Chain A
Amino acid sequence: SQQGEEDPQALSIQEGENATMNCSYKTSINNLQWYRQNSGRGLVHLILIRSNEREKHSGRLRVTLDTSKKSSSLLITASRAADTASYFCATPPPGGGSQGNLIFGKGTKLSVKP
């Protein structure tokens, strides 16, 4: 069953602008992860935020988590053409994550134009 859902489905911006992607999920989680997938490639882990954290930074990435609204956002600042990719949020399955697998959303396709 799908847990996370990203919004928007597609986003097109100019280089230098900020890009914000949102993820909503359905059940309680202990962490949420964001992954990037370049065209024709595997997924690459970007950042993990735990349920007791509200905000986390990694370079030009900023992730927020609002457990009361069951939502997370990924902000990429000063975007570059190389940021063009699909971005996925991933959460443990409903009932916990003792088996290790993640439930992925459908992703936001980001296009950064030079």
Chain B
Amino acid sequence: DTAVSQTPKYLVTQMGNDKSIKCEQNLGHDTMYWYKQDSKKFLKIMFSYNNKELIINETVPNRFSPKSPDKAHLNLHINSLELGDSAVYFCASSPRDYSYNEQFFGPGTRLTVL
């Protein structure tokens, strides 16, 4: 049983395209996150949702738009893709919006923008 799943695992696309990454968790968690990991392995928070409500929106270009249709799903849509968007994007979830909780990560989506 996959706890946090992401699709697709790999995404190769041209500059200027629009793409989406989907995330689903079956853990019953209230909070979901999107992180970006760059080529140097640096992992940075992008967004956080608690019960479908946005609670963190770090300094991310507004080309990135998260959408949470329900608390088990958090999708990431990216408009007008740029070369610098190439990275691995991780979805994660935790029981509630409090940092004492461990986070459960998905397998990642490797985005390559050509």
Contact = CB atoms under 8 A, between A and B. Distances in A.
Interface of A: 2, 30-31, 33, 35, 37, 40-45, 48, 50, 86, 88, 92-93, 96-104, 106-107, 109
Contact of B42 (A30, A43, A106): A106
B99 A100 contact: yes
A30 B105 contact: no
B96 interface: yes
Counting chain B residues whose Cβ lies within 8 A of the other chain, the interface size class is: 20 to 34
Contact of A86 (B41, B50, B94): B41
Given A104-B43, A106-B42, A99 B105 contact: no
A107 B105 contact: no
Contacts of A35: 105
Contact of A33 (B41, B98, B102): B102
Contacts, number: 76
Given A100-B94, A100-B96, A101-B56, A48 B102 contact: yes
Nearest to A48: B102
Given A100-B50, A101-B56, A45 B102 contact: yes
B100 A41 contact: no
Given A42-B90, A106-B41, A100 B104 contact: no
Given A42-B90, A107-B41, A102 B99 contact: yes
A104 B88 CA distance: 15
A98 B97 contact: yes
A74 B3 CA distance: 26
Contact of B98 (A2, A42, A50, A98): A98
Interface in B52-104: 55-56, 90, 92, 94, 96-104
A101 B40 contact: no
22 contacts: A30-B99, A40-B108, A42-B4, A42-B105, A42-B107, A45-B102, A45-B103, A50-B100, A86-B41, A88-B43, A96-B99, A97-B99, A98-B98, A100-B48, A100-B50, A100-B56, A100-B96, A101-B33, A102-B45, A104-B42, A104-B44, A106-B42
